[in-house]
Structure 1
Protein backbone atom coordinates (compact mmCIF):
# COMPACT_ATOMS: atom_id res chain seq x y z
CA UNK A 1 0.00 0.00 0.00
CA UNK A 2 1.50 3.35 -1.03
CA UNK A 3 1.95 6.19 1.47
CA UNK A 4 -0.76 8.14 -0.35
CA UNK A 5 -3.26 5.28 -0.08
CA UNK A 6 -2.49 4.80 3.61
CA UNK A 7 -2.90 8.54 4.20
CA UNK A 8 -6.24 8.72 2.35
CA UNK A 9 -7.42 5.61 4.20
CA UNK A 10 -6.69 7.35 7.51
CA UNK A 11 -8.64 10.42 6.41
CA UNK A 12 -11.58 8.27 5.30
CA UNK A 13 -11.60 6.44 8.64
CA UNK A 14 -11.70 9.74 10.52
CA UNK A 15 -14.60 10.96 8.38
CA UNK A 16 -16.52 7.71 8.91
CA UNK A 17 -16.08 8.02 12.67
CA UNK A 18 -17.57 11.49 12.68
CA UNK A 19 -20.41 10.49 10.34
CA UNK A 20 -21.29 7.54 12.58
CA UNK A 21 -22.05 9.75 15.56
CA UNK A 22 -25.77 9.46 16.26
CA UNK A 23 -27.93 12.41 15.32
CA UNK A 24 -30.05 13.85 18.08
CA UNK A 25 -33.39 15.49 17.52
CA UNK A 26 -33.47 19.27 18.10
CA UNK A 27 -35.42 20.63 21.08
CA UNK A 28 -39.22 20.73 20.47
CA UNK A 29 -40.27 23.68 18.37
CA UNK A 30 -36.79 24.38 17.00
CA UNK A 31 -35.64 23.67 13.43
CA UNK A 32 -32.72 21.32 12.84
CA UNK A 33 -30.48 24.18 11.70
CA UNK A 34 -31.33 27.18 13.83
CA UNK A 35 -30.28 30.56 12.50
CA UNK A 36 -31.04 33.20 15.16
CA UNK A 37 -32.55 36.50 14.06
CA UNK A 38 -30.31 39.56 14.03
CA UNK A 39 -32.41 41.50 16.55
CA UNK A 40 -31.62 39.07 19.39
CA UNK A 41 -29.03 40.14 21.95
CA UNK A 42 -25.57 39.19 20.74
CA UNK A 43 -24.44 38.09 24.20
CA UNK A 44 -27.07 35.32 24.23
CA UNK A 45 -26.03 33.91 20.87
CA UNK A 46 -22.94 31.94 19.95
CA UNK A 47 -21.09 30.84 16.85
CA UNK A 48 -19.01 27.70 16.34
CA UNK A 49 -16.69 27.46 13.34
CA UNK A 50 -15.38 23.98 12.54
CA UNK A 51 -12.35 23.58 10.25
CA UNK A 52 -11.89 20.12 8.73
CA UNK A 53 -8.68 18.23 8.07
CA UNK A 54 -6.78 17.63 4.84
CA UNK A 55 -8.90 15.94 2.16
CA UNK A 56 -12.11 16.24 4.16
CA UNK A 57 -15.17 18.41 3.43
CA UNK A 58 -18.10 20.25 5.00
CA UNK A 59 -20.85 17.54 4.91
CA UNK A 60 -18.73 14.86 6.57
CA UNK A 61 -18.39 16.94 9.75
CA UNK A 62 -21.88 18.39 10.17
CA UNK A 63 -23.06 15.49 12.43
CA UNK A 64 -20.70 16.87 15.09
CA UNK A 65 -23.24 19.56 16.00
CA UNK A 66 -25.79 16.94 17.05
CA UNK A 67 -23.72 15.97 20.09
CA UNK A 68 -24.18 19.48 21.52
CA UNK A 69 -27.69 19.10 22.94
CA UNK A 70 -27.39 21.29 26.06
CA UNK A 71 -29.73 24.28 26.32
CA UNK A 72 -26.74 26.63 26.06
CA UNK A 73 -26.51 25.70 22.37
CA UNK A 74 -30.15 26.39 21.43
CA UNK A 75 -29.11 29.72 19.92
CA UNK A 76 -25.78 28.56 18.54
CA UNK A 77 -25.00 28.86 14.85
CA UNK A 78 -22.54 26.39 13.36
CA UNK A 79 -20.48 26.70 10.20
CA UNK A 80 -18.56 23.90 8.47
CA UNK A 81 -16.74 25.54 5.55
CA UNK A 82 -14.88 23.47 2.96
CA UNK A 83 -11.28 24.19 2.03
CA UNK A 84 -10.45 24.95 -1.63
CA UNK A 85 -9.02 22.12 -3.73
CA UNK A 86 -5.29 22.43 -4.26
CA UNK A 87 -2.21 20.28 -4.98
CA UNK A 88 -0.59 19.03 -1.77
CA UNK A 89 3.14 18.34 -1.71
CA UNK A 90 3.05 15.45 0.77
CA UNK A 91 0.72 13.53 -1.57
CA UNK A 92 3.27 13.31 -4.37
CA UNK A 93 4.03 9.72 -5.36
CA UNK A 94 7.81 9.74 -5.86
CA UNK A 95 7.64 6.71 -8.14
CA UNK A 96 4.90 8.20 -10.36
CA UNK A 97 4.89 11.98 -9.80
CA UNK A 98 1.91 13.87 -11.28
CA UNK A 99 2.36 17.03 -13.36
CA UNK A 100 1.18 19.18 -10.46
CA UNK A 101 2.96 19.72 -7.15
CA UNK A 102 1.00 16.85 -5.61
CA UNK A 103 -2.37 15.15 -5.73
CA UNK A 104 -5.22 17.67 -5.61
CA UNK A 105 -7.61 17.59 -2.66
CA UNK A 106 -9.37 19.99 -0.26
CA UNK A 107 -6.59 21.75 1.64
CA UNK A 108 -6.34 24.96 3.64
CA UNK A 109 -2.60 25.28 2.88
CA UNK A 110 0.24 23.12 1.62
CA UNK A 111 1.73 20.30 3.68
CA UNK A 112 5.25 19.28 2.75
CA UNK A 113 5.57 15.98 4.61
CA UNK A 114 3.71 13.37 6.62
CA UNK A 115 3.86 12.17 9.26
CA UNK A 116 3.99 15.61 10.80
CA UNK A 117 6.61 15.99 13.50
CA UNK A 118 7.75 18.87 15.64
CA UNK A 119 10.44 19.78 13.11
CA UNK A 120 8.48 19.42 9.86
CA UNK A 121 8.71 22.30 7.34
CA UNK A 122 5.69 24.63 7.23
CA UNK A 123 3.88 26.58 4.51
CA UNK A 124 3.76 29.76 6.57
CA UNK A 125 2.63 31.99 3.67
CA UNK A 126 -0.21 29.58 2.87
CA UNK A 127 -1.26 29.47 6.52
CA UNK A 128 -1.44 33.25 6.77
CA UNK A 129 -3.52 33.41 3.58
CA UNK A 130 -5.95 30.85 5.00
CA UNK A 131 -6.12 32.81 8.26
CA UNK A 132 -7.45 35.81 6.33
CA UNK A 133 -10.37 33.70 5.09
CA UNK A 134 -11.18 32.50 8.60
CA UNK A 135 -11.03 36.04 9.97
CA UNK A 136 -13.50 37.15 7.29
CA UNK A 137 -15.94 34.47 8.51
CA UNK A 138 -15.56 35.62 12.11
CA UNK A 139 -15.94 39.29 11.16
CA UNK A 140 -19.27 38.54 9.48
CA UNK A 141 -20.62 37.02 12.70
CA UNK A 142 -19.40 39.96 14.79
CA UNK A 143 -21.04 42.37 12.34
CA UNK A 144 -24.26 40.36 12.73
CA UNK A 145 -24.24 41.06 16.46
CA UNK A 146 -22.54 38.02 18.01
CA UNK A 147 -20.15 39.01 20.78
CA UNK A 148 -16.55 37.88 20.05
CA UNK A 149 -16.36 36.06 23.39
CA UNK A 150 -19.21 33.81 22.22
CA UNK A 151 -17.31 32.75 19.11
CA UNK A 152 -15.42 29.43 19.13
CA UNK A 153 -13.08 28.12 16.46
CA UNK A 154 -12.33 24.38 16.32
CA UNK A 155 -10.42 22.17 13.94
CA UNK A 156 -9.08 18.69 13.33
CA UNK A 157 -5.56 17.96 12.01
CA UNK A 158 -4.79 20.58 9.33
CA UNK A 159 -7.93 22.39 10.50
CA UNK A 160 -6.55 22.30 14.03
CA UNK A 161 -3.32 23.94 12.91
CA UNK A 162 -5.37 26.61 11.12
CA UNK A 163 -7.50 27.06 14.26
CA UNK A 164 -4.40 27.82 16.31
CA UNK A 165 -3.14 30.38 13.79
CA UNK A 166 -6.54 32.00 13.22
CA UNK A 167 -7.39 32.46 16.90
CA UNK A 168 -3.95 33.76 17.86
CA UNK A 169 -3.87 36.26 15.01
CA UNK A 170 -7.42 37.55 15.45
CA UNK A 171 -7.21 41.03 17.06
CA UNK A 172 -9.91 40.41 19.70
CA UNK A 173 -10.40 37.91 22.49
CA UNK A 174 -12.65 35.05 21.36
CA UNK A 175 -14.58 32.48 23.36
CA UNK A 176 -11.97 29.82 22.70
CA UNK A 177 -9.96 27.78 20.24
CA UNK A 178 -10.09 23.96 20.22
CA UNK A 179 -7.30 22.05 18.46
CA UNK A 180 -7.71 18.33 17.74
CA UNK A 181 -4.67 16.38 16.51
CA UNK A 182 -3.10 19.60 15.25
CA UNK A 183 0.29 21.27 15.29
CA UNK A 184 1.98 24.69 15.37
CA UNK A 185 2.03 25.75 11.68
CA UNK A 186 4.43 28.68 11.79
CA UNK A 187 7.66 29.94 13.29
CA UNK A 188 8.05 31.99 16.44
CA UNK A 189 8.44 35.15 14.33
CA UNK A 190 4.65 35.25 13.90
CA UNK A 191 4.24 35.87 17.63
CA UNK A 192 4.99 39.54 17.04
CA UNK A 193 1.62 39.80 15.29
CA UNK A 194 -0.39 38.50 18.26
CA UNK A 195 -2.38 41.23 19.97
CA UNK A 196 -2.67 41.53 23.79
CA UNK A 197 -6.41 40.72 23.51
CA UNK A 198 -5.80 37.59 21.44
CA UNK A 199 -3.45 36.24 24.11
CA UNK A 200 -6.43 36.13 26.49
CA UNK A 201 -8.34 33.59 24.36
CA UNK A 202 -8.27 30.15 26.04
CA UNK A 203 -7.33 26.98 24.14
CA UNK A 204 -8.25 23.32 24.44
CA UNK A 205 -5.75 20.94 22.81
CA UNK A 206 -6.59 17.24 22.36
CA UNK A 207 -4.25 14.69 20.81
CA UNK A 208 -4.09 10.92 20.48
CA UNK A 209 -0.90 9.32 21.72
CA UNK A 210 -1.20 6.62 19.02
CA UNK A 211 -1.39 9.19 16.19
CA UNK A 212 0.81 8.10 13.26
CA UNK A 213 -0.12 11.00 10.93
CA UNK A 214 0.41 14.02 13.19
CA UNK A 215 2.80 12.60 15.74
CA UNK A 216 2.08 13.11 19.43
CA UNK A 217 5.31 15.08 19.74
CA UNK A 218 3.89 17.66 17.30
CA UNK A 219 0.83 18.01 19.51
CA UNK A 220 2.89 18.23 22.67
CA UNK A 221 4.71 21.25 21.24
CA UNK A 222 1.47 23.23 21.18
CA UNK A 223 0.92 24.07 24.88
CA UNK A 224 4.52 25.25 25.50
CA UNK A 225 4.24 27.46 22.42
CA UNK A 226 0.98 28.96 23.67
CA UNK A 227 2.46 29.43 27.12
CA UNK A 228 5.41 31.29 25.58
CA UNK A 229 3.05 33.88 24.06
CA UNK A 230 1.04 34.24 27.27
CA UNK A 231 -2.00 32.18 26.26
CA UNK A 232 -3.76 29.61 28.44
CA UNK A 233 -4.07 26.04 27.15
CA UNK A 234 -5.64 22.88 28.57
CA UNK A 235 -4.00 19.77 27.09
CA UNK A 236 -5.81 16.42 26.88
CA UNK A 237 -3.90 13.28 25.86
CA UNK A 238 -5.79 10.14 24.73
CA UNK A 239 -3.56 7.02 25.08
CA UNK A 240 -5.20 4.69 22.52
CA UNK A 241 -6.41 7.27 20.02
CA UNK A 242 -4.89 7.45 16.53
CA UNK A 243 -5.42 10.18 13.95
CA UNK A 244 -9.16 10.52 14.42
CA UNK A 245 -11.83 12.21 16.50
CA UNK A 246 -13.43 10.37 19.39
CA UNK A 247 -16.85 10.86 20.94
CA UNK A 248 -15.08 11.32 24.28
CA UNK A 249 -13.19 14.32 22.91
CA UNK A 250 -16.33 15.95 21.56
CA UNK A 251 -18.33 15.43 24.76
CA UNK A 252 -15.55 17.09 26.72
CA UNK A 253 -15.54 19.92 24.20
CA UNK A 254 -19.24 20.48 24.89
CA UNK A 255 -18.60 20.94 28.63
CA UNK A 256 -15.60 23.17 27.87
CA UNK A 257 -17.78 25.37 25.66
CA UNK A 258 -20.57 25.52 28.23
CA UNK A 259 -18.35 26.76 31.03
CA UNK A 260 -17.05 29.58 28.86
CA UNK A 261 -20.48 30.56 27.54
CA UNK A 262 -21.82 30.77 31.10
CA UNK A 263 -18.82 32.80 32.26
CA UNK A 264 -19.27 35.17 29.33
CA UNK A 265 -22.94 35.74 30.11
CA UNK A 266 -22.34 36.20 33.84
CA UNK A 267 -19.61 38.74 33.09
CA UNK A 268 -22.01 40.68 30.86
CA UNK A 269 -24.74 40.56 33.50
Structure 2
Protein backbone atom coordinates (compact mmCIF):
# COMPACT_ATOMS: atom_id res chain seq x y z
CA UNK A 1 0.00 0.00 0.00
CA UNK A 2 1.32 3.43 -0.95
CA UNK A 3 1.65 5.84 1.96
CA UNK A 4 2.50 9.52 2.27
CA UNK A 5 6.07 10.11 1.15
CA UNK A 6 8.45 12.50 2.86
CA UNK A 7 8.27 14.94 -0.02
CA UNK A 8 8.26 18.65 0.82
CA UNK A 9 7.71 21.57 -1.53
CA UNK A 10 9.47 24.72 -0.33
CA UNK A 11 9.29 28.44 -1.06
CA UNK A 12 10.18 31.71 0.65
CA UNK A 13 13.52 32.02 2.41
CA UNK A 14 15.74 28.91 2.17
CA UNK A 15 15.37 26.83 5.34
CA UNK A 16 19.07 27.08 6.23
CA UNK A 17 18.84 30.90 6.15
CA UNK A 18 15.45 31.35 7.84
CA UNK A 19 14.76 31.99 11.51
CA UNK A 20 11.06 31.14 11.20
CA UNK A 21 9.08 28.63 9.17
CA UNK A 22 5.47 28.14 8.12
CA UNK A 23 4.28 24.57 7.50
CA UNK A 24 1.33 24.71 5.07
CA UNK A 25 -1.05 21.76 4.80
CA UNK A 26 -3.31 21.47 1.77
CA UNK A 27 -6.87 20.18 1.71
CA UNK A 28 -8.38 17.12 0.02
CA UNK A 29 -7.85 17.41 -3.70
CA UNK A 30 -5.45 20.32 -3.24
CA UNK A 31 -1.72 20.43 -3.84
CA UNK A 32 1.32 21.64 -1.95
CA UNK A 33 1.90 24.24 -4.65
CA UNK A 34 -1.67 25.59 -4.30
CA UNK A 35 -1.42 26.01 -0.56
CA UNK A 36 2.00 27.68 -0.79
CA UNK A 37 0.43 30.39 -2.96
CA UNK A 38 -1.78 31.41 0.00
CA UNK A 39 1.37 32.56 1.83
CA UNK A 40 1.54 35.50 -0.60
CA UNK A 41 -1.26 37.03 1.52
CA UNK A 42 0.39 36.49 4.92
CA UNK A 43 2.98 38.60 6.71
CA UNK A 44 5.65 35.94 6.49
CA UNK A 45 8.58 37.78 4.91
CA UNK A 46 11.77 35.97 5.83
CA UNK A 47 9.96 32.72 6.66
CA UNK A 48 10.83 29.39 5.11
CA UNK A 49 7.61 28.03 3.58
CA UNK A 50 7.24 24.26 3.65
CA UNK A 51 4.34 22.21 2.26
CA UNK A 52 4.23 18.42 2.57
CA UNK A 53 2.47 16.47 -0.19
CA UNK A 54 -0.32 13.99 0.47
CA UNK A 55 -0.35 10.77 -1.53
CA UNK A 56 -3.05 11.09 -4.19
CA UNK A 57 -3.84 14.62 -2.87
CA UNK A 58 -5.68 13.30 0.20
CA UNK A 59 -4.44 12.88 3.75
CA UNK A 60 -7.01 10.23 4.70
CA UNK A 61 -9.88 8.66 2.73
CA UNK A 62 -13.04 9.32 4.73
CA UNK A 63 -14.59 12.23 6.61
CA UNK A 64 -12.55 13.59 9.53
CA UNK A 65 -15.51 12.58 11.72
CA UNK A 66 -15.42 8.92 10.68
CA UNK A 67 -14.22 6.44 13.31
CA UNK A 68 -10.47 7.00 13.48
CA UNK A 69 -9.55 3.39 12.66
CA UNK A 70 -11.38 3.71 9.34
CA UNK A 71 -8.97 6.46 8.28
CA UNK A 72 -5.92 4.35 9.14
CA UNK A 73 -3.15 3.81 8.26
CA UNK A 74 -3.36 7.07 6.29
CA UNK A 75 -3.99 9.34 9.27
CA UNK A 76 -1.05 7.99 11.26
CA UNK A 77 1.17 8.30 8.20
CA UNK A 78 0.09 11.95 7.72
CA UNK A 79 0.75 12.80 11.38
CA UNK A 80 4.15 11.09 11.14
CA UNK A 81 4.98 13.17 8.06
CA UNK A 82 4.24 16.38 9.97
CA UNK A 83 6.38 15.17 12.86
CA UNK A 84 9.21 14.50 10.42
CA UNK A 85 8.74 17.96 8.90
CA UNK A 86 8.92 19.70 12.28
CA UNK A 87 11.96 17.62 13.29
CA UNK A 88 13.70 18.46 10.01
CA UNK A 89 13.16 22.19 10.64
CA UNK A 90 14.46 21.81 14.20
CA UNK A 91 17.54 20.05 12.84
CA UNK A 92 18.11 22.97 10.46
CA UNK A 93 18.11 25.37 13.44
CA UNK A 94 14.48 26.56 13.52
CA UNK A 95 13.10 26.01 17.01
CA UNK A 96 9.47 24.88 17.39
CA UNK A 97 8.59 28.23 18.98
CA UNK A 98 9.44 29.76 15.59
CA UNK A 99 7.42 27.21 13.58
CA UNK A 100 3.94 28.21 12.41
CA UNK A 101 1.19 26.13 10.82
CA UNK A 102 -1.51 26.88 8.27
CA UNK A 103 -4.11 24.40 7.09
CA UNK A 104 -7.30 24.57 5.06
CA UNK A 105 -10.21 22.08 5.17
CA UNK A 106 -8.77 18.55 5.46
CA UNK A 107 -5.42 20.28 6.01
CA UNK A 108 -6.95 22.33 8.84
CA UNK A 109 -8.19 19.14 10.52
CA UNK A 110 -4.74 17.58 10.20
CA UNK A 111 -3.07 20.77 11.47
CA UNK A 112 -5.29 20.91 14.56
CA UNK A 113 -4.88 17.19 15.29
CA UNK A 114 -1.10 17.34 14.92
CA UNK A 115 -0.45 20.43 17.01
CA UNK A 116 -2.83 19.28 19.77
CA UNK A 117 -1.22 15.84 19.98
CA UNK A 118 2.19 17.55 20.11
CA UNK A 119 1.26 20.72 22.00
CA UNK A 120 4.16 22.97 22.95
CA UNK A 121 5.03 26.62 22.39
CA UNK A 122 4.77 27.03 18.61
CA UNK A 123 4.94 30.34 16.78
CA UNK A 124 1.22 30.04 16.02
CA UNK A 125 -1.34 28.24 13.90
CA UNK A 126 -4.15 29.13 11.51
CA UNK A 127 -6.84 26.56 10.70
CA UNK A 128 -9.57 27.49 8.23
CA UNK A 129 -12.62 25.19 8.30
CA UNK A 130 -11.47 22.22 10.37
CA UNK A 131 -11.69 20.46 13.70
CA UNK A 132 -10.08 17.72 15.74
CA UNK A 133 -10.33 14.30 14.11
CA UNK A 134 -12.44 11.27 15.01
CA UNK A 135 -16.03 10.15 15.40
CA UNK A 136 -15.61 11.12 19.05
CA UNK A 137 -12.69 13.32 20.10
CA UNK A 138 -10.25 11.28 22.17
CA UNK A 139 -8.86 13.86 24.57
CA UNK A 140 -6.51 11.17 25.95
CA UNK A 141 -4.36 11.80 22.85
CA UNK A 142 -3.70 15.36 24.04
CA UNK A 143 -1.47 15.37 27.09
CA UNK A 144 0.81 18.40 26.69
CA UNK A 145 0.40 22.16 26.88
CA UNK A 146 0.48 24.91 24.22
CA UNK A 147 2.16 27.46 26.50
CA UNK A 148 0.00 30.27 25.09
CA UNK A 149 0.55 29.53 21.40
CA UNK A 150 -1.86 31.72 19.38
CA UNK A 151 -4.29 29.67 17.28
CA UNK A 152 -6.80 31.25 14.93
CA UNK A 153 -9.69 29.07 13.75
CA UNK A 154 -12.04 30.42 11.09
CA UNK A 155 -15.13 28.64 9.80
CA UNK A 156 -18.43 28.99 7.97
CA UNK A 157 -21.80 28.25 9.53
CA UNK A 158 -23.08 26.10 8.03
CA UNK A 159 -20.34 24.14 6.30
CA UNK A 160 -21.09 20.98 4.33
CA UNK A 161 -18.10 19.07 5.73
CA UNK A 162 -17.34 20.55 9.15
CA UNK A 163 -20.14 21.01 11.71
CA UNK A 164 -19.88 24.18 13.80
CA UNK A 165 -20.33 22.15 17.00
CA UNK A 166 -17.10 20.23 16.27
CA UNK A 167 -15.19 23.46 15.59
CA UNK A 168 -16.45 24.98 18.86
CA UNK A 169 -15.52 21.83 20.82
CA UNK A 170 -12.08 21.90 19.21
CA UNK A 171 -11.54 25.52 20.26
CA UNK A 172 -12.58 24.63 23.81
CA UNK A 173 -10.11 21.74 24.01
CA UNK A 174 -7.25 23.89 22.72
CA UNK A 175 -8.08 26.59 25.28
CA UNK A 176 -8.01 23.93 27.99
CA UNK A 177 -4.55 22.99 26.72
CA UNK A 178 -3.39 26.59 27.28
CA UNK A 179 -3.59 27.81 23.68
CA UNK A 180 -4.61 31.40 23.07
CA UNK A 181 -7.54 30.67 20.75
CA UNK A 182 -9.45 33.06 18.52
CA UNK A 183 -12.48 31.47 16.84
CA UNK A 184 -14.39 33.43 14.20
CA UNK A 185 -17.60 32.09 12.65
CA UNK A 186 -18.82 33.58 9.37
CA UNK A 187 -22.42 33.03 8.28
CA UNK A 188 -23.12 31.26 4.97
CA UNK A 189 -19.78 32.02 3.30
CA UNK A 190 -19.11 28.57 1.89
CA UNK A 191 -16.07 26.32 1.96
CA UNK A 192 -13.37 28.87 1.21
CA UNK A 193 -10.69 31.14 2.67
CA UNK A 194 -11.96 34.69 3.23
CA UNK A 195 -10.05 37.95 3.05
CA UNK A 196 -11.29 38.69 6.59
CA UNK A 197 -9.63 35.47 7.76
CA UNK A 198 -6.35 36.44 6.08
CA UNK A 199 -6.48 39.81 7.88
CA UNK A 200 -7.22 38.21 11.25
CA UNK A 201 -4.44 35.66 10.76
CA UNK A 202 -1.97 38.44 10.02
CA UNK A 203 -3.04 40.47 13.05
CA UNK A 204 -3.43 37.63 15.54
CA UNK A 205 -0.75 35.12 14.52
CA UNK A 206 1.82 36.49 12.09
CA UNK A 207 2.35 39.98 13.56
CA UNK A 208 2.74 39.01 17.17
CA UNK A 209 5.75 40.04 19.19
CA UNK A 210 6.88 37.56 21.81
CA UNK A 211 6.46 39.02 25.29
TM-score relative to the length of structure 1? 0.65
Residue by residue over 1:202-250, the C-alpha shift from the partner in whole angstroms, topping out at 9 and shown as x without a partner, is 3211001242232333322221232344433210111231111112211
Aligned counterparts, 1:227-266, within 5 A: 227-260=175-208, 262-263=209-210
8 Å CA contact 1:205, 1:235 repeated in 2:
yes
Corresponding residue for residue 78 of structure 1: 49
8 Å CA contact 1:181, 1:208 repeated in 2:
yes
Corresponding residue for residue 154 of structure 1: 102
Corresponding residue for residue 185 of structure 1: 133
TM-score relative to the length of structure 2? 0.81
- Shift of the 50–123 alpha-carbon distance from structure 1 to 2, 3 Å rule, reads same
Corresponding residue for residue 62 of structure 2: 111
Residue by residue over 1:14-69, the C-alpha shift from the partner in whole angstroms, topping out at 9 and shown as x without a partner, is xxxxxxxxxxxxxxxxxx8331544x7xxxx210111111111112222212113x
Corresponding residue for residue 6 of structure 1: none
Contiguous gaps of at least 5 residues in structure 1: 1-31, 86-105
Query: CA separation in 1, counterparts of 2:205 and 2:151?
Result: 11
SS at match of 2:27: coil
Contiguous gaps of at least 5 residues in structure 2: 1-10
Residue by residue over 1:113-145, the C-alpha shift from the partner in whole angstroms, topping out at 9 and shown as x without a partner, is xxx7xxx42335443331111011011111111
Q: Which has the larger radius of gyration?
A: 1
The total of aligned residue pairs comes to 197
2:35 matched to 1:46?
A: no
Aligned counterparts, 1:210-221, within 5 A: 210-221=158-169
Query: CA separation in 2, counterparts of 1:190 and 1:56?
Result: 29
Query: CA separation in 2, counterparts of 1:192 and 1:183?
Result: 15
SS at match of 2:207: helix
SS at match of 1:166: helix
Query: CA separation in 2, counterparts of 1:36 and 1:226?
Result: 29
8 Å CA contact 1:110, 1:123 repeated in 2:
no
- What is the deviation of 1:109? 1.6
- Shift of the 190–109 alpha-carbon distance from structure 1 to 2, 3 Å rule, reads farther
8 Å CA contact 2:150, 2:204 repeated in 1:
no
SS at match of 1:65: helix
2:9 matched to 1:35?
A: no
Query: CA separation in 1, counterparts of 2:137 and 2:33?
Result: 34
Query: CA separation in 2, counterparts of 1:159 and 1:140?
Result: 20
Query: CA separation in 1, counterparts of 2:171 and 2:34?
Result: 28
- Shift of the 36–154 alpha-carbon distance from structure 1 to 2, 3 Å rule, reads closer
SS at match of 1:194: coil
Query: CA separation in 1, counterparts of 2:111 and 2:165?
Result: 18
